[in-house]
Amino acid sequence: IIINQIFVSTGSPLALGKSHLVTLPVPQSFSELKSIIIMPDFSAIANMQVWVTALTITVVASIETLLCIEASDRMDVQKRYTDTNVELRAQGIGNMLSSLIGGLPMTSVVVRSSANANAGARTKMSAIIHGALLLICVLAIPGILNMIPLATLAAVLLVVGYKLASPAKLMHFWHKGKYQFIPFVATFAAVVAFGLLYGVGIGMAISIAFILRGNLKRAYHFRKEQYIAGDIIHIDLAQEVSFLNKAAIKATLNDIPENSKVVIDAADTVYIAHDVLDLIQEFRDIKAVENNIEVVLVGFKDAYELENTAMGRENVFIEHAEQKDKIKV
């Protein structure tokens, strides 16, 4: 900003024109402020292009919000879960109110959530304060904001984009195997070639094809065995456990009562989605500890990067056999 202002004041040909700077309205009176507010034109409600645009915004904004929620929940040091239904309803209401005064669509953004989390934020008040500060800046110092070169914002986006899709990220998905790498690369290429909506749709179609190919069985088998020493809950994972099974497994784990013992067996698995592995690890390390639940992991392969419980699978079944003998006695 300072360098460009020096160029402008000295008449340098290197100075950036207004077309290359941020452009915000600077009302000088209340009447000018009212002219900025654009009321909706309901005569266009029958225009098919309006419906196509609305559907596009709805799908893209909803997907972006759900992805942001997934990332934000992982950054939460208290490991709380966001109610996605409440979040999407709030976003829908906010967008309807915003559109009534000519505002742009709003959605959750992982960059701002990450900034709040890194700054030590713990509650939703951080997002409200963030929005209030933006409103104050737009109303109080629009002239200063209009000095920001668009190239500066582009540079920030390039840095953020590189962090989100760096070579290290590509290698990360490569090592995760074809179930992760092929949909990732296909989605990336489709978004660049056809745009965000079509790209996400193509990526989802490819992911669903992979899932349907291998997910012919249930994701897990749940059973409870009763013993004198206490009940033992068994969760036997199927050959393929995809991200679509995460919600069901999550609900099952959350319903496990306190002071229980649960055995999660992955011996028969060929593929477990990374999100499901993170869920199991988080349950074992945090939720189970809080609720005094003993978790035994058996059969997890080295590729899953999730350590089995030291007692091992054979010892677990030996212990079960001993408890059965005690019941018979």
CATH of the domain at 228: 3.30.750.24
Q: What is the pLDDT of residue 314?
A: 46
Q: Does any domain span residue 78?
A: yes
- Note the helical H segments in the chain: 2-9, 30-36, 48-75, 84-99, 110-118, 125-140, 142-145, 150-164, 167-175, 178-194, 196-214, 246-254, 274-282, 288-290, 312-328
- Give Rg (Cα) of the chain: 26
- Residue span of the structural domain in which 260 resides: 220-328
In a domain, 196, yes or no: yes
Q: Are 263 and 298 in contact (CB under 8 A)?
A: yes
- State the Cα torsion 265-243-90-113 to the nearest 10°: 90
Give pTM, 2 decimals: 0.53
Looking at the fold, whether 40 and 63 belong to one and the same domain comes out as yes
Q: Are residues 206 and 276 in the same domain?
A: no
Final residue in a domain of this structure, among 117, 145, 173 = 145
What is the SS3 assignment for 291? coil
**264 lies in the same domain as 322:** yes
The residue assigned the tokens 């700054």 is 119
Contact 274, 307 (CB under 8 A): no
Burial call 274-300: b when 16+ CB within 10 Å, e when fewer: bbbbebbbbbbeebbeeeebebbbbbb
**Contact of 79 with 286, CB cutoff 8 Å:** yes
Residue type, 167: P
Q: Are residues 210 and 234 in the same domain?
A: no
Q: Do 63 and 113 share a domain, yes or no?
A: yes
Which residue type, as a one-letter code, is found at position 279? Answer: L
> How confident is the model at residue 149, as a pLDDT?
92
Q: Do residues 203 and 232 both lie within one domain?
A: no
Q: Is residue 65, in this structure, part of any structural domain at all?
A: yes
Residue 159 lies in a domain: no
- Tell me, yes or no, whether 229 lies in a domain: yes
Domain check: are 185 and 250 in the same one? Answer: no
Same domain for 210 and 310: no
Which residues of the chain register pLDDT less than 70? Answer: 164, 196, 213-218, 228-229, 311-329
Q: Which residue has the tokens 């209340």?
A: 30
Q: Same domain, yes or no, for 177 and 240?
A: no
Residue 232, in any domain of the structure = yes
Is residue 195 located within the same domain as residue 256? no
Q: Is residue 155 part of a domain?
A: no
The domain boundary residue, chosen from 214, 248, 275: 214
- Say what the pLDDT of residue 296 is: 92
> Is 256 within the bounds of a domain?
yes
Say how many domains are in the chain: 3
Among 115, 145, 175, the domain boundary falls at: 145
Same domain, yes or no, for 200 and 133?
Answer: no
| Whether 193 contacts 202, CB under 8 Å | no
Nearest-angstrom CA–CA distance, 137 and 199: 35
Q: Do residues 273 and 317 share a domain?
A: yes
Q: Which two tokens stand for residue 153?
A: 């914002």
